[in-house]
C-alpha cells in the first residue's frame, strides 16, 4: 500500500511496520516484495508472518469450491510477501487442458476476515467498472478446515518489475474515475475496507468535507488509543479540522462548484501497480476502495507516527516513491483539476499530511474558509 508511513497500533519503540507496505503481494514471480521500510531509513524484512504457513501448503475445500468447475489442482506454491497474510499461487488444469493459475491470500481472526472481504469488494468494484486493469476477483471466504482462517482469491497475473507508463496509468485512472460514480451520490463505501489492519472510515456522507473530516477524526482516535495523546498533534489536528479542511474542501462544493464521489482504488503507489508480462498492459491490485474526491489520498504524521485515512493521487507526492509528479501531471491531462484549480497542490498536500505540512497549512490558512470567501466576495456557507 502507498501513502505516508504509518506504524499505527504498534509500540512506539522497537520494530515498526508502515502499514501501507504491509499487505503488498505479488501476482507474478518477478514482482515479489523483498523488504518493507520502517521509520528508520534502513530496509528490513525480519518479522514472522502472523499466519501459519500450513494454510498455503494445500488447497482448502472451500477455496477449491471457488475454482472453475472441473479444475484439477496441479500445485500450490508460496508467492509474494506480506506481514499479516500468507500468499500463494494455485496452479490448475482446466477441463479443456489449459493451465490456469490463481492468486490466494490467507488471513486469520476477525480483522483478517474484514481485510479479505473488503479487498474482494474493492477489487470487484474496480473490475466491474474497468475490467482491463485488474486481476479477476474470484471470491473471498472462510476455510473449511478452520473457521478462524479466511481467504481472498483472484486471477493470477504474471508481472514485470517495471512501472507502468505514466500516460497509460494517468489515462486509465481517469477512465476509472469517470465511469465509477457513486450510485447513491454519497461519499463512502458499502462495506468496511482496511488500510493494513486499520479499518478506514466508510460511512456514507453527503459532502466530501464531512467525509474527510470524519476520516481524520477516526484515525486520530486509533492513534491516541495506540500511542497515547500527543499535544502537538492534537492542536494541529484541531486547526486542520477547523481552518484548513473547510478552506480547501468547502470551496469544492460551494459557489456553484461541484464534485462527485467517484470510485478510487484508495492506495495507488508503485507497490500496487505493475505491468502484465503477457499483454504489457497496466495492472492495479491490493485495493481499499471508497467513493471519494478523485484527487485524494491522505495521511497525518504525528512526530514519527502517521495517521492514515485515504485516496488516489496523494501517494504519488512523497519523493521516496518511484512514481512522482509526472504521473500526477499525466492524470490531469485526462481528468480536469477540480475548481478552485489554484488550490490543487495544497489539496494534494492536505491529502498526504505530515507534521511539517500541517504546520505550513495551518499558518497559511489561518483565516480559514470564511476569510477566503469574504475576500472573494462569495457568500459564506456554513458547514
Give catalytic residues, as residue numbers.
Answer: 267
Phi-psi region of 196 (alpha: psi -120 to 50; beta: other; left: phi over 0): left
Query: Coil, helix or strand for 278?
Result: coil
**Using CA atoms, how far apart are residues 62 and 130, in angstroms rounded to an integer?**
28
Distances (CA, A) of 33 to 26, 182, 364: 7, 33, 39
- Could you say which DSSP state residue 365 is in? T
Pull the grid cell for residue 306.
Answer: 502517521
Report the candidate in 302, 324, 305 with the shortest Cα–Cα distance to residue 313: 324
Q: Compute the CA torsion angle 178, 180, 181, 183 (nearest 10 deg).
A: 160
Tally the C-alpha atoms within 13 A of residue 335's C-alpha that lie toward its C-beta. 25
List all residues 6 or more positions away from 363 whose beta carbon is below 8 Å from its beta carbon.
none
**Using CA atoms, how far apart are residues 345 and 351, in angstroms rounded to an integer?**
10
List all residues 6 or more positions away from 116 whose beta carbon is below 8 Å from its beta carbon.
105, 107, 140, 150, 151, 152
Pull the grid cell for residue 365.
Answer: 490558512
Helices (H), 197-293: 208-227, 231-239, 245-249
**Using CA atoms, how far apart are residues 214 and 201, in angstroms rounded to an integer?**
7
**Using CA atoms, how far apart are residues 97 and 67, in angstroms rounded to an integer?**
15
Amino acid at each position: 500500500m502507498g501513502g505516508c508511513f504509518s506504524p499505527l497500533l504498534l509500540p512506539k519503540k522497537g520494530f515498526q511496520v508502515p502499514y501501507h507496505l504491509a499487505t503488498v503481494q505479488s501476482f507474478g514471480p518477478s514482482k515479489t516484495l523483498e523488504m518493507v521500510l520502517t521509520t528508520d531509513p534502513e530496509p528490513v524484512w525480519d518479522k514472522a508472518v502472523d499466519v501459519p504457513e500450513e494454510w498455503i501448503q494445500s488447497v482448502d475445500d472451500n477455496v477449491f469450491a471457488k475454482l472453475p468447475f472441473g479444475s484439477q489442482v496441479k500445485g500450490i506454491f508460496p508467492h509474494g510477501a506480506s506481514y499479516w497474510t500468507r500468499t500463494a499461487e494455485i496452479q490448475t488444469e482446466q477441463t479443456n487442458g489449459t493451465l490456469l493459475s490463481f492468486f490466494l491470500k490467507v488471513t486469520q481472526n476477525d480483522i483478517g476476515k474484514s481485510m479479505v472481504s473488503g479487498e474482494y469488494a474493492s477489487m470487484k468494484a474496480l473490475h466491474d467498472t474497468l475490467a482491463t486493469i485488474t486481476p479477476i476477483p474470484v471470491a473471498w471466504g472462510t476455510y473449511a478446515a478452520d473457521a478462524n482462517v479466511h481467504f481472498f482469491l483472484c486471477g493470477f497475473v504474471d508481472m514485470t518489475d517495471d512501472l507502468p507508463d505514466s500516460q497509460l496509468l494517468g489515462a486509465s485512472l481517469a477512465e476509472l474515475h469517470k465511469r465509477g460514480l457513486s450510485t447513491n451520490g454519497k461519499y463512502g463505501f458499502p462495506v468496511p475496507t482496511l488500510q493494513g489492519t486499520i479499518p478506514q472510515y466508510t460511512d456514507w456522507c453527503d459532502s466530501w468535507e464531512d467525509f474527510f473530516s470524519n476520516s481524520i477524526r477516526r484515525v486520530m482516535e486509533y492513534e491516541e488509543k495506540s500511542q497515547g495523546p500527543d499535544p502537538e498533534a492534537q492542536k494541529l489536528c484541531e486547526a486542520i479540522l477547523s481552518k484548513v479542511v473547510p478552506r480547501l474542501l468547502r470551496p469544492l462544493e460551494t459557489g456553484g462548484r461541484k464534485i462527485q464521489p467517484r470510485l478510487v482504488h484508495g492506495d495507488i503507489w508503485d507497490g500496487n501497480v505493475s505491468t502484465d508480462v503477457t499483454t504489457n498492459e497496466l495492472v492495479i491490485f491490493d485495493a481499499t476502495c471508497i467513493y471519494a474526491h478523485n484527487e485524494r489520498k491522505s495521511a497525518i504524521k504525528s512526530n514519527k507516527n502517521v495517521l492514515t485515512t485515504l485516496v488516489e493521487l496523494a501517494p504519488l507526492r512523497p519523493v521516496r516513491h518511484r512514481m512522482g509528479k509526472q504521473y500526477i501531471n499525466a492524470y490531469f491531462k485526462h481528468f480536469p483539476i477540480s475548481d478552485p484549480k489554484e488550490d490543487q497542490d495544497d489539496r494534494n498536500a492536505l491529502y498526504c499530511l505530515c507534521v511539517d505540512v500541517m504546520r505550513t497549512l495551518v499558518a497559511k490558512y489561518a483565516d480559514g474558509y470564511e476569510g477566503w470567501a469574504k475576500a472573494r466576495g462569495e457568500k459564506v456557507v456554513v458547514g
